[in-house]
Structure 1
Amino acid sequence: MIPLTDLLLFAGAALLVVLTPGPNMIYLISRSICQGRKAGVISLLGVIAGFLVHMLAAAIGLTTLFLSVPVAYELLKWAGALYLLYLAWQAVKPGARSPFEARQLPADRPHKLFLMGFLTNLLNPKIAVFYLSIFPQFVSPERGSVFVQSVVLGVTQISVSFTVNLAIALSAAGLARWFVRHPQWLAAQRYVMGSVLAGMALRLASEQRRSA
């Protein structure tokens, strides 16, 4: 199975990705600020349902890919490195928007909140690319079932995302007010995040394939 050190490294990568502003974070923060914490939590449950779809699709796809196309690892490794560099640029580029600048959203019923959270995540290219490019770097056929390894990674990523996004949804209004009063921290966060992501991209590009 996956060594603990690799699992912790993957959890760190998942943490960085979930902290990088994207459709999920912007939607959850906006929903929580506009309609309250309960609405934010219901929307988050929809987001988690979307993660389950991504995870199962990636697990099935990677199992097939590793068995039929051995060179796929190298291709996905470079795709993962480029993806991390893209996220780094998104964090530091001029005019990058803070997710704490909430959009105005109308009040919705619980079933629609869940559905909108689900669709926001299901159609989120950031998550799709993460599952396709980062996952393979931590999976090795020599360790056993690729499907089981993918599920373990998926559960880890979902747990990290749920914990972070739950904290954000419950504290969105207070965080938004704090960042309005301390805008310099938004800029600092962006550059620290961009630097760490770029470093991970370089490390990923220089790595050899993991073995058992």
Structure 2
Amino acid sequence: MDKQIFKNILQDVTPISENEWSNFEQYFSYRKLLKNETLWKKGEICNHLVFIGSGLIYCYHQREEKEIVTTLYFEKSIFYDDYSFIKQEPCLLNYVALETTELIVIPRIALYEMFDKYKSFERLGRMMVEKQHTISIKEQLNFSGNKAEEKYLRLIEEQPHLIQRVPLKIIASYLDITPEHLSRIRKKLSTLKT
């Protein structure tokens, strides 16, 4: 796995010295998830930050025996279960690989050590949380109140590769519509293109 991509993403947020990176890198471990393998499941404590080098993870919760997809994490995503990681309480969501996925995994305790040791990492942590928070707000605004067709169009405009990699039932759940409704939308849009 190319650690340089991970480093570049962090460097784009705030400068990190070579010495700081070397100290951070010593905490890395690597994990490979096979398709349908769980990263974290509801009830477990999330004690790691992860970076996806390759692959795809989706996050969901159960409602009346139905999976409700809340988030899709692609290559170059850096994340943890916010609630569990920060509060050290059980995850409320499940995280599952949709395809073979390679991760860099950093223990929570190591991350907090880096925050205490280096001001740049404390700043990096704050800026990453702020960035993720603004993305979450934007996603909520984009999805709330919009018609399903508008949600789907926005999704394929922003992430065109999604359709090739994610099963339609997962996309439908992510859009909070039924697979049948998604099929009707796709059929309508394909007839408009011709």
Q: Please, what TM-score do these two structures have when normalized by structure 1?
A: 0.27
Q: Where is the strand percentage greater, Structure 1 or Structure 2?
A: 2
- Which one has more relative contact order, counting CA pairs under 8 Å at least 6 apart? 1
Q: Where is the helix percentage greater, Structure 1 or Structure 2?
A: 1
Q: Please, what TM-score do these two structures have when normalized by structure 2?
A: 0.29
